[in-house]
Structure 1
């Protein structure tokens, strides 16, 4: 496949292609396709995420094109999340389902301005997938937002391309296509994504069409295939990447006195999370949550909402550091928010203690803390 370019963008870069799923299709074997990303992958903006999102339309395209093939599709999109959390939830939300033949990864809108952290997340996803599921094809996707619609390489896309190029992964740049068409006067992006981020049905159909153009060729044309040994020995771009990222149940904590088990009720507002909401809750100054992990980093997935307060943490006996994660979305609903504690120079035993401070953001209604998951790497 040729690389189509415009204004320093490459719409499609084939690299190694998709040899694994192409072989499975040729064998008429069952195929599993997973979609890992943020709210756009989950289907936000579509009238029905399971039928009119780009993810659902891509699944329909594959099922119709290979009508005698058995397909399974995994929706691992979670709104408002970055590749850092993506690397830590890869096992629970994707790899635990068994053999994965094709993994689409979409985080270019949600990843922030920290280049190293973005590489840790994207590279962690790739390396963990290669280690656990070496036959999986991986393809990066870049969706549109104001920061990704420019005539030069947008920052987040350029960072993700560093990872894609390093591991010879194909990438499809939806944002570059949108930019090219808006610049040519063929569309207004806000007509297809009124908030500038989340496509409506027409926008999702546009994305699905872009991806279909790539798959029409990639699923029949051979790419450049590295042997398994070459792929296993590729050195990391960032040695502190999240290759070993995982989510652990909050019950893995070794000290939970002062916390109580809770779950949100159907009446409690919740956003960016369609999984269970069981968590540990406290608003007591006497409560301390302690957990141990082995690795280079640790974190927590918290359930933040209207009554969340400021908490503090200590790693391996260090002085406590306070953290205020309350933002403009918190008064509206509960949602998962990730907090990562300082990266260590070497892998080893980490003990983390967390407690509330009894203080809060001026916009919060309380000082509580809700813990859903432990993160370990």
Structure 2
């Protein structure tokens, strides 16, 4: 285990740093930086996400600091999503875009209190990236929310730090820095993030300044000798992690009887999704959807909204279980929601059958089901 370097007190843990990116910069080679996370990474709260978000400001800083360098930046932030979906969409939204030199990962706000699931997601991202793109540097970022602003070690950040420590990845703790400054009377967080989560332009600028301080020392020629050990030579923290997580097109289904191909119109309200909305739709209780994969887990990426109902699934021929994913956001707009159907101890053939129940939440306008993608690991 390499010696840890702490700077800015406990706000940054450098570990092995960003050696591959430093090598690329030293050699004047093109550099691609990807940002994987939730709405804060996507740029929510900023007046113009591609100009004033911490993500955009970080890109601007890098381009200005290395003025003769060719950079490419990938926005892989999807609002309201956690590291479970992050691991499953890593190939489609990041690794499938060509060579990636530096990957920032931000999910500490959106991951919930399920420790094992959080590790499965974050470790899955790391191991999948190391397997498919071993030269990519990875850096974890921890953003601020009420649950992450405490003097103790907040749960979600502590869990992510387990993964960062295990794989010797650098981490930058925005939340701890914000907490320290609020305790010192230097700021009021709600002035920078009125809803407690999404920074305004000043909040995004503050995040960008925290990251910039780390990058000032991390991206230097002295770091180029710290070649990363392959994550695959390190035993996993969680055997059922999502290292092989991926998205499949719904056309890979065995049966889609009673479903029709649909796409949202420009008039349909949509949130947290900048990608294609082509999906399978049904509101018929006679409709049946089934698919088979080989892996350790299986699930669906659904498009839930004002007319979504309660569906049920059967796993490997077992009894049907009802799922109601309708929540307070559904009446406002369509958005992606994942439904996971259990994690198995070993890889095996997994078959799922899905149908609607004809029942709905009292706030819903319908009983429909919309399938965007299939999930498997």
TM tier, shorter chain?
A: over 0.9
Q: Counterpart of 2:255 in 1: which secondary structure?
A: coil
Say if 2:19 and 2:228, in contact at 8 Å, map to a contact too: no
Q: Match for residue 363 of structure 2?
A: 363
Q: Match for residue 108 of structure 1?
A: 108
Instruction: Tell me the CA shift for residue 5 of structure 1.
Output: 6.2
Instruction: Tell me the CA shift for residue 95 of structure 1.
Output: 0.1
Say if 1:46 and 1:199, in contact at 8 Å, map to a contact too: yes
Q: Counterpart of 2:15 in 1: which secondary structure?
A: coil
* Cα distance in structure 2, aligned partners of 1:201 and 1:331: 28
Instruction: Tell me the CA shift for residue 344 of structure 1.
Output: 1.3
* Cα distance in structure 2, aligned partners of 1:224 and 1:126: 21
Q: Match for residue 156 of structure 1?
A: 156
Q: Match for residue 186 of structure 1?
A: 186
Q: Are 1:304 and 2:291 counterparts?
A: no
Q: Match for residue 125 of structure 1?
A: 125
Q: Counterpart of 1:105 in 2: which secondary structure?
A: strand
Q: Counterpart of 2:346 in 1: which secondary structure?
A: coil
Q: Match for residue 226 of structure 2?
A: 225
* Cα distance in structure 1, aligned partners of 2:332 and 2:127: 37
Instruction: Tell me the CA shift for residue 173 of structure 1.
Output: 0.2
Q: What are the Cα deviations for residues 122-170 of structure 1, in whole angstroms up to 9, with x where unaligned?
A: 0000000000000000000000000000001000000000000000000
* Cα distance in structure 1, aligned partners of 2:7 and 2:183: 16
Q: Match for residue 167 of structure 2?
A: 167
Q: Match for residue 3 of structure 1?
A: 6
Q: Match for residue 339 of structure 2?
A: 339
* Cα distance in structure 1, aligned partners of 2:228 and 2:309: 51
Task: Please report the TM-score for the alignment, with normalisation by the length of structure 1.
Answer: 0.97
Superposed CA RMSD: 1.2
Say if 2:148 and 2:156, in contact at 8 Å, map to a contact too: yes
Instruction: Tell me the CA shift for residue 243 of structure 1.
Output: 0.2
Say if 2:260 and 2:281, in contact at 8 Å, map to a contact too: yes
Say if 1:15 and 1:224, in contact at 8 Å, map to a contact too: no
Task: Please report the TM-score for the alignment, with normalisation by the length of structure 2.
Answer: 0.97
Q: Match for residue 96 of structure 1?
A: 96
Say if 1:16 and 1:224, in contact at 8 Å, map to a contact too: no
Q: Are 1:276 and 2:263 counterparts?
A: no
Number of positions where the alignment pairs a residue of Structure 1 with one of Structure 2:
373
Say if 2:302 and 2:370, in contact at 8 Å, map to a contact too: yes
Unpaired runs of 5+ residues, structure 1, are none
Q: Match for residue 237 of structure 2?
A: 237
* Cα distance in structure 1, aligned partners of 2:29 and 2:224: 20
